[in-house]
Amino acid sequence: MEFKQIHAKQVLTPVGWLDNVIVTIQNGIITDITPSDKPCPNQIKLLPALIDTHIHGVMGADTMDATHESLNTMSNFLAQHGVGAFLATTVTESHDKIEAALRQVKNSIQQGVTGATLLGSYLEGPFFNAIHKGAHPEALLQAPDRATIEKWLILAEGTLKCIALAPEYPNALAIIKWLRHQNIRVMIGHTNADYQTTKAALLAGASGVVHCYNGMSGLHHRNPGVVGAALSIDHCQTEIIVDGHHVHPAAVAIAHKCCGENLLLITDAMRATGMPNGDYYLGQLRVHMKDNVVRTDDGNLAGSTLTLDCAVNNLANFTNTSFDKAWLHGSYYPAKALGIDNTLGSIAPDKIANLVVLNEQNQLIATLVKGNIVYQSNQFNEQYITHPKQV
């Protein structure tokens, strides 16, 4: 029986830091969190691993490659940046290619990946409005279609967790209600909907909005749009890309002040992440990456090269909030949004031991998934983890 302990100077919980604590892990599950009566020998901090709920790819790999190798590349890269779980996100493509991607996510969950846990898939496209198409090819966009969605849900066998769509289509509200009865999370994105339509979609069961401010009708004082709904309607889960390019720091601060715990850090990262400047593909579109900014031929932003640990630091800097509170927007709050906070997103007894180890300078030195080290830097000391029953 696997049994290990980590004695940390500080441990982050949803209610703040605990000092000088021993966290006990048994078979990948946190079984105990105990204040220590002895001085802490390790100057380390223990935090819940981050959860990236919206990511396309990294390091030349992409969900749409529909290969286990690509999904595993994403899994390992994410672990290097403190992410313990993620949703592999599609883009608008032919139905055959979307189906191949959904099928591979299902198969890779069964096979297992070696870094961050693959939670399932996030369908971004093709049910969008061409006015806010972004990097989604206009010719492949369409109204939401229940028969198609039913086919994809059957194919995914419970691994398709989230579907994004534009709510202004005539049949959208009915489909949102139906999907919520199927326990599928629905997000509003790449849409030109007005405030009332967005509010109606949220009341019908949509959970929130895709990458707030980007790919949607903006805020005007006489026409609040999707942004106005995202910032003002209670319980709207509001994704945001905090890379300093997609959203101005002041707009990030406004969203943080308005949305509170419903503000969810995402990366929306694509295959150029971690790669040198050059040309890459997002779906079938060729895009160009220069100085970590990715754009289409016509200048539209095409995903990001952001990592979630960087997003946490940016949120803290842009909003003048503390690092630990910013961290919750990438860990505990995403877990709550996905309805998995009973197992992930925080450090507490009976939770899965997806953990991040930081040094005193808040630098990432290790990531654990289900209690096992899946990434460690040269600053990590194996003695930080003890096996008392083996002594």
Q: Using CA atoms, how far apart are residues 211 and 213, in angstroms rounded to an integer? A: 7
Q: Using CA atoms, how far apart are residues 90 and 98, in angstroms rounded to an integer? A: 7
CA atoms within 13 A on the CB side of 76: 10
* Residue 353 near residue 30 (C-beta atoms within 8 A): yes
User: How far, in Å, are 167, 206, 225, 343 from residue 87 at the CA level?
Assistant: 22, 18, 27, 16
Tokens of 152: 């994809």
Q: Using CA atoms, how far apart are residues 142 and 249, in angstroms rounded to an integer? A: 33
3-state DSSP call for residue 75? helix
- DSSP H or E segment with residue 175: helix 172-181
* Active-site pick, 62, 194, 268, 309: 268
* Residue 44 near residue 357 (C-beta atoms within 8 A): yes
Cβ neighbors of 291 (< 8 A, separation 6 or more) are 277
Active site residue 268: yes
| Distance from chain centroid for Cα 341 | 14
Cβ neighbors of 234 (< 8 A, separation 6 or more) are none
Catalytic positions: 268
